[in-house]
Amino acid sequence: MTPAERWQGQPATRQELFRQGRELRRVRPRSSLGYGFSTDRDPVALLDAQNAARLQSLVPIRWGRMAQSAFTFYRGAAALMAHDLAATGVSGLRVQACGDAHLSNFGFYASPERELVFDLNDFDETLPAPWEWDVERLVASLAVAARSSGFGDLAATGIATRAARAYRQEMRKLAERSALANFHVLVSAASLLARATRPSATRELSRATRKAQQRTSESALAKLSTVSEDGELRLVEQPPVMVRPRVWPADIAAVPQLYVDTVGPDIRALLRRFHPVDVALRVVGVGSVGTRCLIELLVDTGGAPLILQVKEATWSVLEPYAGPSELGHAGQRVVAGQKIMQAVSDPFLGWTSSDGRHYYVRQFRDMKGSIEVERLSEKLLGDYGLLCGEVLARAHAQSIEPALIAGYLGTGTVFDEAMGRFAVAYAEQNDADHAALLAAIDDGRIQASAEG
C-alpha cells in the first residue's frame, strides 16, 4: 500500500504524512524527476492527431500560430508534452492537475465580488494526475520563454530553478496550515502590487491590472458588435477568426437555457432576465484553435449586455497516460477541475451538450488579463515564475494533503536543481520540435495560415 493509499484510507497526523512523503524518495529519488522524457516520436504527427475532430477550415490557423515562435509552439503542444512526460518517473502522488500549467495560463480575472485576483485560468486539460507533470510544464515554459528572450541557458536554468523552489517552499507553508486556511488563500492584484519591490515590477503589474479591469462585457461589446438596421445588436464578423455559423445545431442559441441546471440558483435566476440576440464562432488561443468555440451575446430588458463563451470540451491530453476521467462529460470535467484548483471561480461556469458534443460555459472577458511575458526582463521573468510556482502549489494543495508532497520535496535544493536541469533540456527539445513543424510547413506536409 502506497503512502497516498494509506492517507486515503485512514486519518494520519501531519508528521506522519511528512514521513510518508519522505519514504517515497527511496522509490523515486528527487534528482531523477524529469529524467528520460520521450524524444523518439514524430511531433507533427502527434499534434496532427488532435486535428481529426476539429473544424478543418481552422486547422491551418492553429499551425500558423504554433509556427510563430518556439514559445507559441510550446503553448499549443500540451498533447506532445503529455506524451513525453509519461515516460518519466513520478513519486506516485496525484492531485487535481491543470494539465497545461505553462506560464501564460496564469493570469487575472474578476472574483464574484468583483475583486481582481491572480490564479491559474485555463483548465481544458485538467485531470487527476501526477503533480510533477504540472510543475514540469511550468518550469519548461519559463526556460522556453527565457531562451526566446535571449537570456541564455544559464539564466533559463536559474529562473526555472527559482520557480521550483517557490513551489517547494510554498507547499511546506501550506502543509503547516489548516485545510480551511489554505482553502481561503487568494492572491489579489492589490496584494501583488503591495509586495512588489522593483519599480519595474510595479509598472508591469499596474499595466496588466489596468488592462484586465478594462476587459468587460461592455468593452467587448464596443469592439465586437454593431447595431443592425432594425435596431438590434449584432456581433460583427471578422473572418477568419470570428464568423457567424452557417450551419450549426439549432440548440446552440439556447445554451443559456440548456446549461442552467449546472449553475447556482442565483445565476439561474439572473439568466432568466437575459435573452440571446446573436452567436458567433470565435477562434481563441493556440492549442484550442479548431475546437468549436462560440461567443453568445445576450441582453437584458434595458439592453445591457452579457457575453458568454461556449467552448467545446474534449478529452484531456493527460487521459491516455493518467487514466480516463471519472466524469463522463468533458465539460463537467473542466468545470470540476477549475472549481477545485482556483481560489474563486466564475459564477457563470457550467456545462452542457449539443449535437453529441460537450461544452463548458463561462463569462467572456470578465476582467481577464495576463502578464505580457515578452515584456519581462530576466529579473522580472524570475519574479513571475516564483509567483506562478506559489500559486500552483496552492492549487495542488486543494486535492491532496500538502504534507505528503512537502515531505517528499524536503527542505534541500535537490528538487529545485532537478527541475532546472529538466527545464532547459526540454526547452532544447521544444526548439527541435518547433523546427520540425517549420520543416513540415516548408515541404507541404501541412498547411499553415498566417491569418488570425
Average per-residue pLDDT in the chain?
A: 92
- Three-state secondary structure call for residue 117: strand
5: pLDDT strictly greater than 70? no
C-alpha cell at 215: 476587459
For residue 134, the tally of other CB atoms under 10 A from its CB is: 29
53 class by beta-carbon count within 10 Å (0-12 exposed, 13-18 middle, 19+ buried): middle
DSSP symbol at 275: E
- pLDDT (tens digit, 9 = 90+) per residue, 11-49? 689 999 999 999 999 999 999 999 999 999 999 999 999
> What pLDDT shows up at residue 246?
73
256: pLDDT strictly greater than 90? no
pLDDT (average), residues 366-370? 86
452: pLDDT strictly greater than 80? no
C-alpha cell at 447: 498547411
> What pLDDT shows up at residue 87?
96
In this prediction, residue 4 has a pLDDT band, given cuts at 50, 70 and 90, of: low
Q: Which residue has the higher pLDDT, 277 or 409?
A: 409
- Three-state secondary structure call for residue 446: coil
366: pLDDT strictly greater than 90? no
Nearest CA-CA partner of 424 in 161, 135, 184 = 161
413 class by beta-carbon count within 10 Å (0-12 exposed, 13-18 middle, 19+ buried): middle
> What pLDDT shows up at residue 345?
95
Quick check: 160 and 169 in contact, CB under 8 A?
no
Angle between helices 59-67 and 414-442 (to 10 degrees): 120
Quick check: 135 and 160 in contact, CB under 8 A?
no
Q: CB-based contacts of 384: which residues, under 8 Å, 6+ apart?
A: 103, 371, 373, 376
- Three-state secondary structure call for residue 381: helix
Residue 109: CA count within 13 A, CB half-sphere: 21
- pLDDT (tens digit, 9 = 90+) per residue, 197-252? 889 999 999 999 999 998 887 788 788 888 877 777 889 989 888 998 776 666 66
Nearest CA-CA partner of 279 in 252, 311, 306, 257 = 252
> What pLDDT shows up at residue 367?
86
> What pLDDT shows up at residue 253?
65
368: pLDDT strictly greater than 70? yes
Q: What is the DSSP string of 189-210?
A: HHHHHHH--SHHHHHHHHHHHH
Tell me how far apart the alpha carbons of residues 354 and 292 are, in angstroms, rounded to a whole number: 11
> What pLDDT shows up at residue 9?
53
Q: CB-based contacts of 80: which residues, under 8 Å, 6+ apart?
A: 41, 43, 46, 47, 433
C-alpha cell at 408: 517528499
> What pLDDT shows up at residue 273?
93
Tell me how far apart the alpha carbons of residues 297 and 293 are, in angstroms, rounded to a whole number: 13
Share of the chain above pLDDT 90, in %: 77
In this prediction, residue 92 has a pLDDT band, given cuts at 50, 70 and 90, of: very high
Nearest CA-CA partner of 335 in 391, 261, 389, 405 = 261
Tell me, rounded to whole angstroms, the distance of Cα 193 from its chain centroid: 23
Nearest CA-CA partner of 103 in 338, 376, 320 = 376
Tell me how far apart the alpha carbons of residues 120 and 307 are, in angstroms, rounded to a whole number: 22
Quick check: 132 and 383 in contact, CB under 8 A?
no
Nearest CA-CA partner of 339 in 94, 130, 126, 174 = 126
- pLDDT (tens digit, 9 = 90+) per residue, 269-306? 999 999 888 889 999 889 899 999 999 999 999 988 89
152: pLDDT strictly greater than 90? yes
DSSP symbol at 443: T
> What pLDDT shows up at residue 225?
83
> What pLDDT shows up at residue 218?
79
Share of the chain above pLDDT 70, in %: 96
For residue 359, the tally of other CB atoms under 10 A from its CB is: 26
pLDDT (average), residues 422-427? 98
Quick check: 119 and 187 in contact, CB under 8 A?
yes
DSSP symbol at 236: P
Question: Could you tell me whether strands 305-312 and 275-282 are parallel, antiparallel, or unpaired per DSSP bridges?
Answer: unpaired
For residue 421, the tally of other CB atoms under 10 A from its CB is: 17
DSSP symbol at 52: G
In this prediction, residue 2 has a pLDDT band, given cuts at 50, 70 and 90, of: low
Q: What is the DSSP string of 345-362?
A: --TT-EEEEETTEEEEEE
What does residue 220 show for φ and ψ, rounded to 5 degrees?
-65, -40
In this prediction, residue 405 has a pLDDT band, given cuts at 50, 70 and 90, of: very high
What are the structural domain ranges in the chain?
3-213+372-442, 217-363
Q: CB-based contacts of 136: which residues, under 8 Å, 6+ apart?
A: 33, 34, 85, 88, 419, 422, 423, 426
> What pLDDT shows up at residue 248?
67
Entry pTM? 0.94
- pLDDT (tens digit, 9 = 90+) per residue, 308-361? 999 999 999 999 999 999 999 999 999 999 999 999 999 999 999 988 899 999
> What pLDDT shows up at residue 411?
97
Nearest CA-CA partner of 258 in 355, 357, 354, 124 = 354
> What pLDDT shows up at residue 219?
84
> What pLDDT shows up at residue 333?
98
> What pLDDT shows up at residue 252?
67
> What pLDDT shows up at residue 418?
98
